[in-house]
Structure 1
Amino acid sequence: MKFTAFAAAAASALVLGATAESAELRLSHQWSNQDIRHRVAQIVADEVAAAGVDLDIRIFGSQSLFKAREQYTPLSRGQLDMTVLPLSYAGGQQPSYNLTLMPGLVKNHDHAARLTNSPFMEALEAKMAEDDVMVLVHGYLAGGFAAKDRCIRRPEDIAGMQTRAAGKAFEQMLAGAGASIASMASSEIYNAMQTGVLDAVNTSSSSFVSFRIYEQVKCYTPAGDIALWFMYQPLLMNKSTFDGLTEAQQAALLAAAAKAEAFYLEEAKKEDAASVDVYREAGVEIAEMTEEDFAAWLDLARETAFKEFVASVPDGQALLDMALAVE
């Protein structure tokens, strides 16, 4: 009898141990399942599932779990395990994050990849660690402008328009150009343009397509050889959650993340050209930004967004210098 009780207790302990090592992680994002950022998340989920380490990643897209701009705080508190998030959305919690959407700071996709492997990114990751957050997958996306009534190439083109920009730095620059600013997540752009709240928009090539903004605009200025708009949009994870996984589960996650990151970079390069095709087929005029146009925006950014960042962030100048030092 005693042996039977002991055996039952031992079996129960084994079951509990197996349960403790198995886990389900919740991953939240704001996009549709056709969007590149969902596909990055899906690669991680699929690769981890294939690794057979008793780890399941459940993806909640289209803001079905948390609103777009409300994901960083629950992530940092352990109420959410993972998210794909434009980091500048969390600029209110960590003002240094506003540097991840700074006009003209990133030259192209390969330059963006070098930024993610630099002392600049290490400094940002140290700030994330203060919030119990870590990066699993690095990724930048390029973007451009679109407007309902006219093309936007230079600062004077956007004067008098009600416009949306994803982050504080772009809002400061566009306000400096004479635009009125309406802050919102990219998932809210379509309705805002449809109802007349917005005249113009600044967002990623991916969002321009996945949110069907081509149905609401007359002219599109895409990211081409010259791109003013680059935004850091990583897959983040709660660090304590990661630390609580088994070594096998951690290894599977990191391997999956490496595969997803390589995909993210290559697909991001394709998104810009693909968006032009979609907009042209929809009958939207395509406007090209010249080097002179870019220089005009950059001059304005230096006098607005750059200055504001350095003035408002205690180590802002050091962070900006680190970013500018990446060739």
Structure 2
Amino acid sequence: MSLKTGPLLARRTLLGAIASSPLWLGNAWAASQAMKISHQFPGGSVMEGDFRDRLCRMFAASVEKRTRGSLKFSIYPNAALMAPNAQFGALKKGSLELALVPLSYAAAESPEANIGLMPGLVTSYSQGYGWKNAEVGQELTRILADQGLVVISWIWQAGGVAARGTPILAPEDTRGLKVRGGSREMDLILQEAGATIVNVPSNDIHAAMKSGALDAAFTSSTSLISFRLQDVSRSLTTARSGGYWFMLEPLLMSKTVFDRLHKDQQSAIMAVGAELEQFALRMAQADDAAVANVYSRTGARVVDMDAEALKKWQEMARTTAWAAFGARNENCAKLLALAEKSIAAL
């Protein structure tokens, strides 16, 4: 070996070791392209607009700052990157890095996901956010991880009902109507009540109601505002005094992508995601209160959920939605049992 060859070989060996280290791999991958964050909601800015879009932008800015620019992000609102239901498959494959999406949209691929919109199972924000550290949340996190998904931010939203006709308060009010429930389990209740089910993502509700293809739609308070459903509705049932329709709409990350990153980058992502949960809670509650004013200004009739109607939905849910979900598979049965356990602990 010549004097020149020895140092050259040693240098190549050192560079090879650095290039194969987790830190180098994570930074090199991230530096090659901005991570994509997809969602179906209207775009805005960090300061204004749909809070779910704002949360994505706040997340991107905070993580980029904490990682000193080693991680960068591009936001794709309005389903500009892909259809809402396609996001889960893309996350699992690693072709999409992050998405903020209703968990129940994954039900076709993951029956367990419908626990995220199980009517009557979650009836308050405190109960929903309590899942994160409870057994039910830990088990759901494990199941999603096994399916290639990492929960970055737990986001819960209460929901109401926009209708082209009279207000929807009790289950029997949906009889004979074309209704969008938002999840398989919600649809089971509506079918039992005599409604015809119309399945559309939240960003397509406005067009469906305007055309008459849809008579009423259950969706979050934020979507009731952001998608301007007041323009095509004559009545609204709000969630400001409580409700049976609470949706888990997390910020998710591809586990394939997450596992590529250095531990410091992973820690920054998880820390920022957790910090933004309080922002999501405040904004969701603010929208629950604001939605009534938005609809009242257009002349819509606004009503609030009452205890008697809530009890009717829960009783019907136990014998339809809950029973069907628990029978899907072993994971579903376990999740339902743990969720009911959390109710008993309240």
TM-score, normalised to structure 1, is 0.93
Q: CA deviation at 1:41?
A: 1.0
Decide which of 290, 294, 299 is 2:310's aligned counterpart: 294
Q: CA deviation at 1:259?
A: 2.1
Residue 116 of structure 1 aligns to a residue in which SS?
Answer: helix
CA deviations 1:257-314 (Å, max 9, x no partner) are: 1221221122222110011121112221101221111111111111211121122233
CA distance in 2, matches of 1:21, 1:275: 40
The one-letter code matched in structure 2 to 1:122 is Q
Decide which of 36, 39, 42 is 2:51's aligned counterpart: 36
CA distance in 1, matches of 2:229, 2:30: 44
The one-letter code matched in structure 2 to 1:212 is R
Unaligned runs of 5+ in 1: none
Task: Look up the match of 2:31.
Answer: 22
Is residue 134 of structure 1 aligned with residue 120 of structure 2?
no
TM-score, normalised to structure 2, is 0.88
Task: Look up the match of 2:130.
Answer: 114
The one-letter code matched in structure 2 to 1:303 is T
CA distance in 2, matches of 1:26, 1:138: 19
Q: CA deviation at 1:240?
A: 2.2
8 Å Cα contact 2:118/2:185 also seen in 1: yes
The one-letter code matched in structure 2 to 1:32 is P
Task: Look up the match of 2:46.
Answer: none
CA distance in 1, matches of 2:281, 2:224: 18
Task: Look up the match of 1:58.
Answer: 74
Task: Look up the match of 2:252.
Answer: 236
Task: Look up the match of 1:168.
Answer: 184
Is residue 152 of structure 1 aligned with residue 152 of structure 2?
no
Residue 264 of structure 2 aligns to a residue in which SS?
Answer: helix
Task: Look up the match of 1:49.
Answer: 64
Task: Look up the match of 2:95.
Answer: 79
RMSD: 2.2
Name the count of aligned residue pairs.
323
8 Å Cα contact 1:154/1:297 also seen in 2: yes
CA distance in 1, matches of 2:85, 2:247: 15
CA distance in 2, matches of 1:325, 1:269: 25
The structure-2 alpha-carbon separation of the partners of 1:201 and 1:21, relative to structure 1 and needing over 3 Å to count, comes to closer
Is residue 257 of structure 1 aligned with residue 273 of structure 2?
yes
The one-letter code matched in structure 1 to 2:36 is R
Q: CA deviation at 1:218?
A: 0.5
The structure-2 alpha-carbon separation of the partners of 1:20 and 1:151, relative to structure 1 and needing over 3 Å to count, comes to closer
The one-letter code matched in structure 2 to 1:30 is Q
CA deviations 1:77-132 (Å, max 9, x no partner) are: 10101000111100111111111111111121111111222111111111111222
CA distance in 1, matches of 2:31, 2:53: 24
CA distance in 2, matches of 1:322, 1:143: 23
Quote the sequence identity (%): 32
The one-letter code matched in structure 2 to 1:35 is D
The one-letter code matched in structure 2 to 1:173 is I
170-179 vs 270-279, greater mean Cα deviation: 270-279
The one-letter code matched in structure 1 to 2:52 is R
Is residue 217 of structure 1 aligned with residue 217 of structure 2?
no
CA distance in 2, matches of 1:21, 1:181: 43
8 Å Cα contact 1:120/1:323 also seen in 2: yes
The structure-2 alpha-carbon separation of the partners of 1:85 and 1:20, relative to structure 1 and needing over 3 Å to count, comes to closer
8 Å Cα contact 1:175/1:181 also seen in 2: yes
Is residue 186 of structure 1 aligned with residue 202 of structure 2?
yes
CA distance in 1, matches of 2:73, 2:164: 40
8 Å Cα contact 1:21/1:246 also seen in 2: no
CA distance in 1, matches of 2:326, 2:274: 33
CA distance in 2, matches of 1:283, 1:322: 43
The one-letter code matched in structure 2 to 1:99 is I
The structure-2 alpha-carbon separation of the partners of 1:176 and 1:46, relative to structure 1 and needing over 3 Å to count, comes to same
Decide which of 196, 205, 220 is 2:221's aligned counterpart: 205
The one-letter code matched in structure 1 to 2:191 is A
